[in-house]
Amino acid sequence: MIISIFFVLAGSIFYTILRPPKNTEKTEPHILYIKESTFVKGVEQNG
């Protein structure tokens, strides 16, 4: 019983780590697009 509760808790945490970003949930199939120039700029600024 305790182990089942543990797995449910662990599964919930695993789910939050794995789930796609919220704003893709109710839309059509998407592709994640990273705005490369903005991202690289951010890296350079932050070291």
Asked if 30 contacts 24 with a C-beta cutoff of 8 angstroms, the reply is yes
CB of 19 to other proteins, least distance (A): 7
What does the binding site for other proteins look like in residue numbers (CB under 8 A)? Answer: 3-4, 7-8, 10-11, 13-15, 17-21, 23-25, 27-35, 38-40, 42-43, 45-47
CB of 36 to other proteins, least distance (A): 8
Asked if 9 contacts 3 with a C-beta cutoff of 8 angstroms, the reply is no
In single-letter form, the type of residue at position 3 comes to I
CB of 21 to other proteins, least distance (A): 7
- The total number of residues shown for the chain amounts to 47
